A = this chain, B = another copy of it.
Amino acid sequence: MFSKSTEYALRAVLYIAKYSSADKKIGIETVSTAVGSPKSFTAKVLQKLTKNNCLINSVSGPNGGFFLTEEAKKTSMLRILEILEEEHVITKCVLGLQECSDVNPCPMHNRYKLIKPLLIDMFENKSIQDVLNELTDSSITLIDVQDIRITHK
C-alpha cells in the first residue's frame, strides 16, 4: 500500500517513540536494526521527519540520537503520511483519476467512498501514543519474525 520510505518511517517513528526520551536518545544504527530497515536509507527518511517539520527531534554527537517529545507523541499517525506525502495513497481515486469525489465518480467510487473514511480515520484518529499503548501487548511487533537473528556470543 505504502512506499518503502513510508513503511520505514511508520515503523521507525513508533520504535523511537516507544524506546526514547529527551534523556535517552536512540541512534540510527539501533533504530534501523530494530525495525529491519537499511540504515542509510532510513537516515534519509528520518531527516524528513526532523527537518521540514518537527515530529522527531535529533541531537548530534555522543549520546545523541533521535527522540520524540511527549507533545510529539500526541501527533496523529496521519502526520507521518503527510510528511512523506503519501496521504494521497488513501485519498486518491482507485482507478487513478485526478479527483476522487462524488462529482465525477469512477465506477469503483460508490464502494470506495464507504471505505476511504475508514482508512483515513485509521491514521487520523490514532495518535502515536495510542499505538504505544497497544504495543505494551508483547504479541504486537514492529519487525518481521524472520528478520530476528539470534547471535551467539
* A interface residues with partner B (beta carbon < 8 Å): 1-2, 4, 7-8, 10-11, 14, 77, 89-90, 92, 94-99, 104-112, 114-115, 118-119, 122, 126, 131, 134-135, 139-146
Contacts and interface: CB of A to CB of B under 8 A. Distances in A.
Nearest to A109: B140
Given A89-B1, A141-B97, A111 B122 contact: yes
Contacts of A139: 104-105
Contact of A96 (B7, B112, B145): B7
B95 A145 contact: no
A122 B95 contact: no
Given A114-B118, A131-B108, A95 B140 contact: no
Q: Assembly of this chain: how many copies? A: 2
A3 B14 CA distance: 27
Contacts of A131: 107-108
A128 to B, nearest CB: 10
Given A7-B95, A107-B135, A108-B131, 12 more contacts: A1-B1, A1-B89, A77-B108, A97-B141, A97-B144, A104-B145, A106-B141, A107-B140, A107-B142, A110-B134, A112-B122, A115-B118
